[in-house]
Structures are given as structure tokens and as C-alpha cells.
Structure 1
Amino acid sequence: MGKGKNKYFDVHGPVFWPASILIVIFIAITLIVGEPMEKVFGNIQNGISDYAGWLLVLATNSFLIFCIVIGFSKYGKIRIGGKEAETEFSTGAWFAMLFSAGMGIGIIFWGVAEPMFHYVQPPIDLDAPASRAEQAMTFSFLHWGLHAWGIYALVGLSLAFFAFSKKLPLTIRSVFYPLLKERIHGWIGDVIDVIAVIATLFGLATSLGFGVQQVSSGMNYLFNIPDNVITQVVLIAIITGIATISVVLGIDKGVKFLSELNIRIAAVFLAFIVVVGPTLFILNSYIENIGHYFQNFFFLSFWTEAYQPAESAGWQNSWTVFYWAWWISWSPFVGMFIARVSKGRTVREFVMGVLVVPSLLTFLWMSAFGGSGLWVEMSNPGIISESVMENVSTSLFVLLEQFPLAEIASAIGVILVINFFVTSSDSGSLVIDSITAGGKLDAPVGQRIFWAVSEGAVAAVLLIGGGLGALQTAAITTGLPFTFVLILMMFSLLRGLKNEYAKSIQLDQETDFKKYSERIEKLIAKRKKIHKEQEEESESNKN
């Protein structure tokens, strides 16, 4: 089926229908099989982690190294959209949208919980509490820092370059034009986009599932509402409805407004915990955590538990491998969203902006919330860790109970999670909408609503069919095949940048030659004029 167009839908059939049918089949099987699906999800996750974990570790490091090399190479001066391209958004608004789309909902869920998990169950055995706490923060930085943003930077830069500089549709297939040429418009391009849609949807559903579990825990804490799957599904329905309104309003009125609002609320929330929490500890640990992270960067980045005893191995499968697959499954969504708001930036500005600023903000958030949790735990063992181990989604609220104004802070926390939930859902809907519409930036409203509702439905079904394990399996299962797409993307982007650089050099040389020729012509004309004047003057003197 080709492209169908009406008032409510404008789809590219070979992408829209296969992706929709596969998603519906997945939802149906999960609902029909019911509880046993949790075991199935667990087996799938373990199989992929055991046999392909090394590949995800190697690939993720390659993506980060590639982006840094490209950013600081001669290609760094290339401007996305051409030499005369101008930016659409201010730098502040750009960073706000990067952070909201890329990490927001995740770091609120895991900001306290993850360092606590690594403290109680250290990946590398250590006896001293202080050493375990330091290691816990370093592994948290590894999972949420440069590697995650390196994946986003690769996809975002590739999409932005080929969409704005090469005038191709803003869809994943366009990235492969240097390798596939016109074949990107055929079945190969359709397959790439279908994989991207499914990866994006399940990556988003994972984050939305985490977010709604935390909202449910917050509502239980504040209003004693039961914290169960029914509550979570109802919350998904309500929040998806809000996200749908934002999707209908579009990127300027909806997503941009909510992203900037999120950053303001998050800044207030962060300032609150820094002031009422262990202020000096947070500031000191932030500096020390960054130092420890970079000191152990290469060891941790390439660590695969190869020499760990068999009985204690497996930690990495549940954490690092899961995160790399999660970020990869999220990368079509975040990358395309970053691409849409990054026109006019140079390659170097793009890479540095996407890698450095969001990472430093994430590290600060982790140091404030995760560090405060560790500070409390080291003084009063068990006060936070027991709650986290029992129900990870309560971690933020248990931490806030240890400080003044806990109920007000918890209410702000719930509002923030809901807002990040909405911005993730609406920006994700716009991205999937663009892919399934053949790269159009403004597809009909009905189509946007369809994908916003689909995301909520998948998140709800995954929670019903297996809880946290199902969410993690969805991310890993879709992240693995998309890893190969990203590997090819590196080669394609490099070829595209080489061609662009060669063209710009040739253009500069032609411009320089033209200027030189014009200058020579002017000099010749001037000499002729002077010579003529001299002849006229000589003739006049003779007379």
C-alpha cells in the first residue's frame, strides 16, 4: 500500500501498517497469555543479555568515541542546514528540550534508587561503606552519562544532517542514503523505519511505565490511594490524555512550553534538596563523583564481568546491558526530536552541547538525590535501602521524608514526574508520527492522537503482563536489532560528512578562484585605463 491521505491520516503504508500490526499482535499475545508472560519476558531478557551483552557494550563505546572524534575533527565546522542556516531556538530552550526528551522521567525514577541498589548490592565487592557509596555513584554516572548521550548524539546528528543539509525526509531511512542511494525509498528503507517505530514505542513505553509507577507511589504517599496495577493503568489513561492535548498543540505551543516548564520545576526541586539536604556533602560529592567517574572511565566502560565468579556474575545484565539497550531503543525518538530542534548548529556545537551539558546536569541531579540517599543510609543503615528493595518506585518519597516539608516536596515530585511523562509521550508521538508519515514534519492531528494513545496502551499492557521485568525486556528486545542499524549509521554519516566537506572545500576554492579572477580583471582594466590616460596625455602634449 502506498501513501494514503485524508483529513485525519496521511500515512506511508509500508511503514505504518506493518508497525501497527506487529504492535497489536504483541499487545494481544501479552493480554491473552497473562501472568506466564512474565516468565517468558525474563527468559528473553536473560538470553539476549547473556549472548549479546558484549556486543552492546562494544557498540555503545564505539558510538561515543565516534561522536567525539567527529566533533573535534575537520568536520566539526560543518553547519547543519548549510553555511547560512540559522537556529530556530535559543540555546536555553534547546538545552531544556534536550534534557526533557532525553532523560527527565528516568532520572527522577532512578535518581535515588539506582545508587542505593549499587550500594546494597555492589557490582564489585567492597567492604568499606564509603567505598561502596563512591562506587555506587560512579556506576550510576556510567549508566546516565556520556555513553547514553553519545547514542543520542549519533542518531540526532545523522538525522539533522541528512534532513537539513541534504534535504531528505526526517526519517531514519534517510540516514542511509550514502550507502543505499535511491533504495532507501524501497523495501529496505521501509524495514529500517518499521524497526525504528517499534524500538521507539517500546523504549518510550518502558520510560512511561517507570514514570507511572512512581506517580502511583506518590499518590499513595500523599492521598493514600492504593498503589497497584489498576491505579497505574488509570493514571496512564489520564496522563496520556494530557499528552494527547500537547501533541495536538504541536511542538512550539505544546512540547516547547512543557519542556521549559519542566526545567523550571526541576531546578526548584533540585535547589530544594540541595538547601534542605546535606548541602556541603552534595557539593563535595558532585566534584568527587565526576573525578572518580573519569578516573575509572575506560575500565568501567569496557567491563564485562569476564573474570567474575559464575555464581556472582549477572549483575551487568540487569544494569549496564539493560541501560545500553534502553538508550538504543530510545535513540530514534530522542535522536529525531533533537534533530528537529538543532538546525543551524555546527557539528562541533551539536556534539558538545548534546554530550556535555545534559551529562553534567544529570550528574548534579544524581549527586543531589542519590548522594543524599546514600548520606542518610550511611548514617542510619536500612532507613532508605529497605524501602527501595521492597518497592523501587517509592525511593524518592522515602528520601524526602527525611527532610523538612516532605509532603510539599513530594507533591512537587509527582507534578514533575507527570510533566516529564507528558513531554516524553507527546514528543515521542510526534517522532513516530513523522516516521510513519514518510518523514513529514506536520502530519494530521488524528495520526498524532493515534500514536499518543498507542504509547499509553503499550505501557499499560506491559505493566499488566509482567511489571518491571516486562518493561526491561521490551527495551532490550527492541534495542538489540536497532544496534546494527546504528552501527551502519556511523559509516553512512561519516561518508555524508566527507562528501559535504569535500564539496565545501571545492566551493571555497571556486569562490577563491572567482575572487582572484575578478581581482586580476580589475587590475587589467585599471592598467588599461591608466595606459589609455597616459596615451591621451601624451597625444595632448604633442599637440
Structure 2
Amino acid sequence: MSAAPPASERRSWLKDINPTVFFGTAIFIVAISIWASVDTENAEGVIGAVVGWVSTNLGWYYFLIVTAVVVFVLYVSVTKIGATKLGPDHSKPEFSMFTWASMLFAAGIGIDLMFFSVSEPISQYLAPPQGDGGTVEAARQALVWTLFHYGITGWALYALMGLALGYFAYRHNLPLSIRSALYPIFGKRINGKLGDVVDIAAMLGTVFGIATSLGIGVVQLNYGFTYMFGWAEGLPVQIGLIVAAVAMATISVVSGVKKGIRRLSELNVILAIALMLFVLVTGPTNFLFDGIVQNVGDFVSRFPALTLDTMAYDRPDDWMNAWTLFFWAWWVAWAPFVGLFLARISRGRTIRQFVVGVMVVPFAFILLWISIFGNGALDIVMGGNAAFGETAMNLPERAFYSMLDQYPLAPVSAAIATFTGLLFYVTSADSGALVMAKFTSRPGPHDHDGAKWLRIFWAVATGVLTLAMLSVGGITTLQNATIVMGLPLSVLLVFIMLGVFKALRLERTRAESFTASIPLMMGGRGGAGAERGRSWRQRLARMMSFPGQKQTARYVTTVVEPALREVAQELAERGADAELRSSPVESCGIPQVELTVHLAPERDFQYQVYPVSYPAPSYTMRDSDVADDYFTLEVFSVEGSHGYDVAGFTKEQLIADVLDQYERHLTFLHLNRKAPGQSVIVEDPPAHADWEADFANDEEK
């Protein structure tokens, strides 16, 4: 008989997870699932009672929070700090705009868009919250309400969470986790129980938000198969669909972001566009184009009033719970999940690019989708088909297919719609599993998506919770549970805005220090002054020089290191706490040299000269034995590369450049003097990442 494996091996899987967050979330989900399955009536009653209390007492709070988020993200995007990158200053986007937009759209909006794009316009037209139904004004307002619920407000929530996570993770090397966004407020305490509580709250909101979307999706897909093949509607078929979708999501999430999730997202968007164009071409084309234009105008003109319209004087509570409050809570619940996923795929984009992209690109598609399908559905009802209207309002899972049934090639379009819906379902499930694995993993590299077994676990757990909540009371109970779970997350949004504001205020001060500095030595900034100190022959020789490994290493040893050592010694003699470090870069053997002036409790000054390799351009005049790669010596600070090369500077020119950068840093601290000790975002800044690897990745792109 073989001996049992040692305890350390048996427990090795624990090294992959944060036990508190993983077990805390898993236990809660299992408990809710068992409660909903065993005592269905009690679960439905309790959840309904809590939702009633939230709606009556805190409806105004939801409106206020989401409006504040819209204002905040727009503010940070239009000001100077919008130029700050989600990553070092030299970083570049990892994905193309189409791929990026496809992934953020497929993750941020699921099959529920197909569900509500037909059913909500019809419901708002026939039973509006205020005024008479079935009128022209009700039709205009119906599309505005639908666009409002799926529009800018929700994507602003995603943008806030995504920029917070991306900024602190990629610019300050904190874990890609919700807790990192609270670092400016709570400091190192986020690494303890406080951070665990924050991540558990984010996990619970995420899993219930995704379960709601998947529950809606599986009910609609169930009817899709009923429409095409005559399958029965009910839990048995829904169980089979959940199992199949979870299996597909598991395969996709195990393959990772760059393969499965990326390809499915792109295919998803392409099929959705094809379906939309089919309805546009085969339907009342002129009316649909007129509707798109008018919907844009109506939405733009009415959005400011709607965003704070709590209907205080004639409040339709049931309508508010079923629509606006549900959607706001749903968006809030999805915000950690989608925000982390967006941050995961958005390294290298500026805050302005990120916010504008997240708020405009998906919404432009949503506006077209809802206008085409919503107006197409309204045209059918206003044309006299009352039965279709009743179906769309009372059996919303049938609305989309019932509409396609009014168009030619219904069996083909229904099959495409079912497959598109299945992709929507899978891309939401696999993205959610990946993010939840990230939430419950121990801190690690930002591009590490959690252990494969962990991703599989959360894909399955989400499917189980979806099934449990469907067994309680269907979609209504899922909606109610989302409203409840979104409440603690909405409080978290306030702290995230405060943390981001505090950090970005320092970024703004740092940017102002570049323009507020006194004129620097030698008449220029960032290496330009040193260039002006050269003769034209020296400048030309430098421009045509492409130094190899040996030449670059010799220059670092004979010029860079002695120059920075002299500065460090002079600073030390004047009482500064200066430190000089030099070490060879493993990939090329060339030393990197870093001068640090410790200025606690303020932010330290860092001047690092780091070798970066590039392929030699084809136009260079060089001998055949010259290496294919050449090296630059680029200046880095905590924020990344300053974008210029100091190779070839004389010792005096290099010292002048160090003093230029030091003067800027002191100006930054001077401008920040009203908040002493607050120039530090991360108390113990981590060692620099492999800058050369960053540049190599950029070159590959």
C-alpha cells in the first residue's frame, strides 16, 4: 500500500486562493441556494419584504449615487488628469479597439439585452409609469426609458470601477482587486480583514448580478428551443441549458482572455450586428431610421431630468422596483465584475480613452440595437397587433422570438438569435468566472487569471445559484435579490470615488509641476536642454548611432554610473537621504542605475536609467557584423518612461538632466504643500517591473 501524500501536498490547492474571501463567499452562496431550494416560500417572502423596504426608504439614495458616478467619471475624463494612463507612461494598449470594444460589450451586456430590447419598449408603451398608455407620447417615452435603463448611467458605473482598478493595479502595482481602490483612504489596512470584507461584498454582488442575467437568458433560450423544436418550457429543460452553457463557459474561461473569451466576444458582436441589420433591412426601414434619429434627440434632451426623477409626487412603487431601481442595482452589482474585466483588458489606455470608450462605444451599439428592435416592435403593436403587445408585456421571454416571427425567414433568424443569445450567455458566464477567480485568488501578476480549477468552480457555482433562484420565483426573485445585494456595493462606490479622487488629485499636481517649474538648465526639458548644449555634428552623430550591447554597457559603466554617483554624494553631503543602486539586467547584461532620494513622509524622487532594446531599423548605415538589435538608455520614474534616450550625453549633461527632473519633483511637492504627507499613494512602492519586457510587448503589437 502506498503512503498517503504529505499534508503540504494535500493542501497545495490552498496556495491558489484567499481563504477568507473564497470560503466566505462560497458558504454564503451555498447557504442561499439551499435555503431557496428547501424553503422556497419563505425565501421568496423575505426577499420581497427587504426589497419593499429598500424601495420605500432608499430609492432616492440609488438615484443620487448613480448620478454622482456619472458626474465624477465625466469630470476626470475631461480634465487634465484624463491624460493619465492606466499603467506606466510608456505603456500601450494590449488589444485593438474592435477587440477591446467587443470584449467590454460582451462582458458588460449579456443576453438580457435581447430580452429587454423588445419587451421593455412594449411594456412602457402599454403601461407607462405616468400618463396614458398607447399614445404617441407614450411611444416616444417608451424608447427613452429603455435607453435610460441601458444607457450612460450604467456604463459610467463600469467606467468608475474599471479606471479605479486599472489605475491602482497598473500604475502603482497594487493587486487587481476592489480593495486596491481604497488604498488612498485606508492604507495598508486593505491587506487585512477590511480588504477581505470589501472583496466578499464585491463577490456577492457579482455572483447575484451574473445569476440574474443568466436566469433571464436561460428562460429566453428555453422559449427559443420551444419555438424551433417544440421543447417544453420549465425547469427540466432549463437545467439542461444551464449545464450546457456552464460547460461551454468552462471551456472558454480555461482557455483564457486572449483565446476563448476574445474569440467568442468577437463572434458574438458580429452575429449581433448581422441580426440587427436583418431587421433593419427587412422591416420598416424608413420608420426605423426616423426612429433612431428621434430617439437620440429625445434621450439627449430628457436624460438630465430622468437621472434624478424619483417620481416623488406620484410614485409608482411596483413600476420603480421592476424597472429603474432594479436596473440601477443590477448595474451596481455588475460593476465590480465588469470593472475588473475592463481593467484586465485596458492596460495602457489613458483615463480619457477608457472613460469615453466605455461610455460611448457600447452605448452607441445599444442605442442602435434598442432603437431598431424597440421601434420594430412598436410598429407591430401600433399597426394593430394587440396580441403581440400582450405577449411582449406579460411573457417577456417570448417577445424577441414573437417579433422575429413577424419577419421573413423566421426559422433562420430565430436560429441565429438563439445561437447569438447562447454566446451572450456564455461570454457573460466565462467573463464572470474569470473575474471571480481573480477576486478569490491570492495577489499575483496582473495577467494571471486565477487557477483553472478556481475558474471552473465559479462557473459551476454561478450555474447552481441561477438554478436555485429560478426555482424560487423565477426572474422576479432574481431581480429582487439583485436589488438587495446591490445596496452594500453602492456604499462601496462612494469610498472608491473618494480614493480615486485623492490619487488623481496628486496626478494633477504632478502634471502642473511640469509647467510651474522655473526654466531649467540649458534651455529645455526632458533631455531637450542637453541636446541644445551639443554642436550640430555631435547631435548628428548621436542620431545616426545605434549602439549594441557592449557599447551601451561601457557607456553606463563609464558615464551614467559615475554621474549619478556624484549627484548622490553631493546630495548626501547636503543632508539628503540619497541612495544609488546598480544591477545588471538579466536579459541583456547591461547595468541599470537608479538614484533615489528618500523624502519621507512625502513621495521619494527616483531617477532610473534603464536599457531598452529595439530592432535596428532597415535604413541604418551599418556594417554587416553589427547586431540586429540596438539599445537606448531611457529615463524612468515611478510613473514609467519619460520617453527620451540619454545615451551619448556627457557626464555634465546627464547631471543637468537629473537636476531638471529633481527640480520638477520638488515643484510637485511644493504645489502639494496644502496636503503635507499626502503625496504618497503607495507607502512602500514595489520594485520596477521589467521595463524591457513592457517595451518588447509593445513592439510585438
TM range (shorter): over 0.9
Structure 2 vs 1, CA of residues 249 and 519 (structure 1 numbering), >3 Å: closer, same or farther?
closer
Aligned equivalent of 2:594: none
Verify: 1:204 aligned to 2:220, yes or no: no
Alignment of 1:68-217 (within 5 A): 68-126=74-132, 129-217=135-223
Q: How far apart, CA to CA, are the structure 1 residues paired with 2:454 and 2:528?
A: 57
Q: How far apart, CA to CA, are the structure 2 residues paired with 1:519 and 1:206?
A: 57
Structure 2 vs 1, CA of residues 386 and 516 (structure 1 numbering), >3 Å: closer, same or farther?
same
Aligned equivalent of 1:404: 408
Aligned equivalent of 1:503: 510
Q: How far apart, CA to CA, are the structure 2 residues paired with 1:407 and 1:515?
A: 75
Aligned equivalent of 2:471: 464
Q: Which of residues 393, 402, 417 in structure 2 aligns to 1:413?
A: 417
Verify: 1:320 aligned to 2:327, yes or no: no
1:516: Cα distance to partner?
Answer: 4.0
Aligned equivalent of 2:548: none
Structure 2 vs 1, CA of residues 91 and 35 (structure 1 numbering), >3 Å: closer, same or farther?
same
Contact 2:435 2:449 in 1 (8 A): no
Aligned equivalent of 2:38: 32
Structure 2 vs 1, CA of residues 373 and 503 (structure 1 numbering), >3 Å: closer, same or farther?
same
SS where residue 17 of structure 2 aligns?
Answer: strand
Matched to 2:177, the amino acid is: T
Q: Which of residues 249, 260, 276 in structure 2 aligns to 1:254?
A: 260
Deviation by residue 1:17-58 (Cα, 9 ceiling, x = unmatched) = 111111111111111102443233222222211211110011
Contact 2:282 2:407 in 1 (8 A): yes
Structure 2 vs 1, CA of residues 155 and 511 (structure 1 numbering), >3 Å: closer, same or farther?
farther
Q: Which of residues 280, 283, 287 in structure 1 aligns to 2:286?
A: 280
Deviation by residue 1:248-305 (Cα, 9 ceiling, x = unmatched) = 1111111001000101111111110101111111111111011001111121111111
Aligned equivalent of 1:351: 355
Alignment of 1:377-526 (within 5 A): 377-440=381-444, 441-506=448-513, 513=520, 516=523
Structure 2 vs 1, CA of residues 514 and 383 (structure 1 numbering), >3 Å: closer, same or farther?
farther
Deviation by residue 1:442-501 (Cα, 9 ceiling, x = unmatched) = 321111100110011111111011211211012111101100001111110011112233
Structure 2 vs 1, CA of residues 368 and 180 (structure 1 numbering), >3 Å: closer, same or farther?
same
Which region of structure 1 is more displaced relative to structure 2, 514-523 or 151-160?
A: 514-523
Contact 1:113 1:392 in 2 (8 A): yes
1:438: Cα distance to partner?
Answer: 3.1
Q: How far apart, CA to CA, are the structure 1 residues paired with 2:479 and 2:15?
A: 32
Question: TM-score of the superposition, structure 2-length normalised?
Answer: 0.72
Matched to 1:426, the amino acid is: D
Deviation by residue 1:308-359 (Cα, 9 ceiling, x = unmatched) = 1x6x544222210110000000001111111111111111111111111111
Which protein is bigger by CA-based radius of gyration? 2
Contact 2:55 2:317 in 1 (8 A): no
SS where residue 383 of structure 1 aligns?
Answer: helix
Aligned equivalent of 1:294: 300
Aligned equivalent of 2:16: 10
Q: How far apart, CA to CA, are the structure 1 residues paired with 2:522 and 2:244?
A: 63
SS where residue 256 of structure 2 aligns?
Answer: helix
Contact 2:469 2:478 in 1 (8 A): yes
Higher helix share: 1
Q: How far apart, CA to CA, are the structure 1 residues paired with 2:281 and 2:268?
A: 20
SS where residue 354 of structure 1 aligns?
Answer: helix
Q: How far apart, CA to CA, are the structure 1 residues paired with 2:103 and 2:534?
A: 56
1:389: Cα distance to partner?
Answer: 3.0
Q: How far apart, CA to CA, are the structure 2 residues paired with 1:510 and 1:320?
A: 50
Matched to 1:76, the amino acid is: G
Aligned equivalent of 1:540: none
Q: How far apart, CA to CA, are the structure 2 residues paired with 1:521 and 1:364?
A: 54
Once the two structures are aligned, what percentage of the paired residues are identical? 36
Matched to 2:484, the amino acid is: T
Matched to 2:211, the amino acid is: A
Verify: 1:337 aligned to 2:344, yes or no: no
Contact 1:8 1:446 in 2 (8 A): no
Structure 2 vs 1, CA of residues 512 and 426 (structure 1 numbering), >3 Å: closer, same or farther?
farther
Q: How far apart, CA to CA, are the structure 2 residues paired with 1:193 and 1:499?
A: 26
Structure 2 vs 1, CA of residues 480 and 513 (structure 1 numbering), >3 Å: closer, same or farther?
same
Aligned equivalent of 1:218: 224
Structure 2 vs 1, CA of residues 266 and 509 (structure 1 numbering), >3 Å: closer, same or farther?
same
1:9: Cα distance to partner?
Answer: 6.4
> How many residues are treated as equivalent by the alignment?
521
Which region of structure 1 is more displaced relative to structure 2, 502-511 or 342-351?
A: 502-511
Aligned equivalent of 2:369: 365
Deviation by residue 1:398-433 (Cα, 9 ceiling, x = unmatched) = 001111011111111110111011010001111010
Contact 2:253 2:433 in 1 (8 A): yes
Contact 2:292 2:368 in 1 (8 A): yes
Unpaired runs of at least 5, structure 2: 1-9, 536-701
Q: How far apart, CA to CA, are the structure 2 residues paired with 1:286 and 1:430?
A: 36
Q: How far apart, CA to CA, are the structure 2 residues paired with 1:482 and 1:514?
A: 51
Contact 1:9 1:444 in 2 (8 A): no
Q: How far apart, CA to CA, are the structure 1 residues paired with 2:121 and 2:97?
A: 31
Aligned equivalent of 2:676: none
Contact 1:129 1:378 in 2 (8 A): no
Q: How far apart, CA to CA, are the structure 2 residues paired with 1:96 and 1:379?
A: 35
Q: How far apart, CA to CA, are the structure 1 residues paired with 2:457 and 2:529?
A: 64
Matched to 2:466, the amino acid is: A
SS where residue 126 of structure 1 aligns?
Answer: coil
Structure 2 vs 1, CA of residues 8 and 187 (structure 1 numbering), >3 Å: closer, same or farther?
closer
Q: How far apart, CA to CA, are the structure 2 residues paired with 1:447 and 1:96?
A: 25
Q: How far apart, CA to CA, are the structure 2 residues paired with 1:405 and 1:383?
A: 21
Q: How far apart, CA to CA, are the structure 1 residues paired with 2:528 and 2:268?
A: 56
Deviation by residue 1:134-160 (Cα, 9 ceiling, x = unmatched) = 110000011000001011000011111
Alignment of 1:219-234 (within 5 A): 219-234=225-240
